[in-house]
Amino acid sequence: MTETVQTAVIGVTGYAGAELARLLLHHPRLKGKPPVFAGRVDEKDAARGGVPLAEIHPELAGTPLVATLKQEPFSWDLLTARGVEVLFLATPHEQSRQWVPEALARNIRVIDLSGAWRLAHAPHRAVYAFEDDGTPEAEAIQAQAVYGMPELHRAQIAGARLIANPGCYSTSVILPLRPLVSAGLVDLDHGIVADAKSGVSGAGKAPTAKTHFMYAADNLSAYGVFTHRHTGELLEQIGLSNSQIVFAPHLLPIPRGILSTIYLRFREPQTRNSVARVYREFFAASPMIRLYDKTLPQIQHSVRTNYADIGFQIANDSRRAVVVCCLDNLLKGASGQAVQNLNVLFGWPEDEGLE
């Protein structure tokens, strides 16, 4: 077990970056060893050594050491000089594709919050249209990437050099479905419907016409049906074909949080106890999963936590079920899961710094 490590964050200015900074600055293993924050800095700010972190995120003011921290101009020499061992990338997918090879060449481990390295199969990666896809160099790096969902890949994460943090929607669908599919309970020929709804922060900090207040407020809209880039993650991690699931994302007029409602049919009649037993056994070693007994999860109970809340109801025919999963898209769906991966990577308690 490693006692502590030097981390760095690129992309602290975004919503996920802010949460990542907060978690790492409060992490008990990193006390006195704050992350290096680096990124794009203009000439004026570079002259003063970077942008003070408290100016970027005033909500962090008062946190220990924040007054001394800045987002400094990015360079590999900076990371080397500071002894960075783990690099968190809260950057666009294309940027991560460029920087991960260099980080690995410098023996810096990477936890990548983008979708750059999540997908093992080329047809699923096609939605990103990466220019280097299929090259020997990219294939060699992809082969090293571990899908960073501890509940599924804890052992592989522990020895990984590159951890590809899952998507937020993907997390909210994979976690409730994988145990049931792996146990052979689900009638895959009948098909699965995953009806997922996310708060506006899931679209990132850069404003768009569809995340503008006048569009999103007092509204609920579906988007990316059959084309959303998280679909490939569902297929690979649950073990489904494209024809076995319909994934329908929606934009909720709230700042943060995801609620995924999943409709499925069992191959054989099931009882509440038989399904609950599958979940309990699958998640027995997973401290960030909360299983609901008699009620269904709600966004308000999981928001601002790193928990994924899972509950279900079975119809009177014992064959049809509705499963609900709620989580915070910026925490369990992004930065919290990234820190959870850091904990697993270094043999620390999985929930340390997250409760």
CA-to-CA separations, 109 to 104, 146, 167, 168, 174, in angstroms, rounded: 6, 12, 20, 22, 25
Quick one: average pLDDT of 327-342? 98
What confidence score (pLDDT) does residue 177 get?
98
Burial of residue 161, with CB atoms counted within 10 A of its CB: 0-12 exposed, 13-18 middle, 19 or more buried: middle
pLDDT at 252: 96
**pLDDT, average across residues 189-217:** 91
Contact in structure between 114 and 92 (CB atoms under 8 Å): yes
What is the per-residue pLDDT across 177-197, written as a single tens digit (0 to 9) for each? 999 999 999 999 999 999 999
Give the pTM: 0.96
| Mean pLDDT of all residues in 84-112 | 97
pLDDT at residue 267 above 90? yes
Helix (H, G, I), strand (E, B) or coil at 108: coil
pLDDT value of residue 6: 98
Give me the chain's average pLDDT, please: 96
Residue 207 has pLDDT above 90, yes or no: no
- pLDDT for the residue 128: 96
How far apart CA 122 and CA 337 sit, in angstroms, is 25
Tell me the per-residue pLDDT of 22-68, one tens digit each, with 9 for 90 and over: 999 999 999 989 999 999 999 999 999 999 999 999 999 988 889 99
Q: How confident is the model at residue 341 (pLDDT cuts 50, 70, 90)?
A: very high
326 is catalytic: no
Q: Domains of the chain, with CATH numbers?
A: 7-166+334-345 (3.40.50.720), 168-329 (3.30.360.10)
SS (H, E, C) 78-142: HHHHCCCCEEEECCCHHHHHHHHHHHHHCCCEEEECCCCCCCCCHHHHHHHCCCCCCCHHHHHHH
The tens digit of pLDDT for each residue in 71-82 reads 999 999 999 999
Element holding 151 (H helix, E strand): helix 150-157
How far is it, in rounded angstroms, from Cα 145 to Cα 164?
Answer: 6
pLDDT at 204 over 90: no
Element (H, E) at 290: strand 289-291
The catalytic position among 18, 113, 116, 168 is 168
